């Protein structure tokens, strides 16, 4: 009498079903992951600029002299920036953004903190390559030198300065 042996492994039909299920789950998760990556990149760029601005303010107060944050390409912050003292000594330098995000200021490519850490008011916005207002972020700098991230105070999904929404070009 012949003895039956159990086959180990999967049939082709089982394998196809598993691949289809994984494909469906992947297609559901991919758009959410893409949005996460966009938010992560703009958050990193925002943190880098905000950290350098805070560094410049602290150095101005510590050294008792003006410290400037200067865009490397005129008023275009996306090409990078440097932090230098009033004597021209470079304290820190940041190369251009590799994320494709765009940083634009409110006119001038220079922010100067005086020896007390004070400056004039500034608004700097960060936009993603797709220019979606809902993905935009902004940094607000008060005359007192306070540096903070702008939030959506109007609950409309777009960050604002407390009154006006920031929009990307």
Q: What is the mean pLDDT of residues 15-41?
A: 86
* C-alpha–C-alpha distance, residues 63 and 44, integer Å: 28
Q: What is the mean pLDDT of residues 106-124?
A: 91
The CATH number linked to 85 is 3.55.40.10
Our count of domains for the chain comes to: 1
CA dihedral 31→35→40→46, nearest 10 degrees, is 160
Whether 154 is in a domain gets the answer no
* Residue-wise pLDDT tens digits, 46-69: 999 999 999 999 999 999 999 999
Return the closest-CA partner of residue 67 out of 48, 46, 80, 81. Answer: 81
Q: Is the dihedral of CA 23, 24, 30, 33 positive or negative?
A: negative
On the question of pLDDT at 1 being above 70, the answer is no
* C-alpha–C-alpha distance, residues 47 and 144, integer Å: 20
* Residue-wise pLDDT tens digits, 32-49: 888 788 888 888 889 999
Would you state the structure tokens that stand for residue 166, as one six-digit string?
Answer: 């920031």
- Residue numbers of the domain that contains 104: 14-149
Whether 35 is in a domain gets the answer yes
Q: What is the mean pLDDT of residues 80-109?
A: 89
Whether 61 is in a domain gets the answer yes
């Amino acid at each position: 009498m012949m003895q039956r042996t159990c086959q180990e492994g999967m049939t082709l039909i089982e394998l196809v079903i598993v691949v289809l299920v994984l494909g469906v789950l992947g297609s559901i998760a991919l758009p959410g992951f893409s949005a996460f990556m966009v938010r992560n990149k703009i958050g990193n760029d925002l943190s880098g600029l905000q950290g350098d601005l805070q560094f410049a303010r602290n150095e101005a107060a510590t050294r008792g002299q003006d410290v400037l944050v200067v865009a490397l390409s005129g008023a275009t912050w996306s090409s990078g920036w440097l932090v230098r003292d009033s004597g021209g000594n470079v304290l820190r330098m940041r190369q251009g953004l590799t994320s494709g995000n765009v940083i634009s200021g409110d006119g001038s490519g220079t922010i100067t903190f005086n020896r007390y850490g004070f400056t004039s008011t500034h608004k700097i916005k960060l936009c993603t390559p797709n220019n979606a207002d809902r993905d935009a972020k902004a940094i607000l700098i008060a005359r007192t030198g306070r540096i903070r991230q702008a939030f959506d105070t109007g609950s409309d999904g777009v960050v604002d300065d407390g009154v006006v929404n920031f929009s990307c070009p």
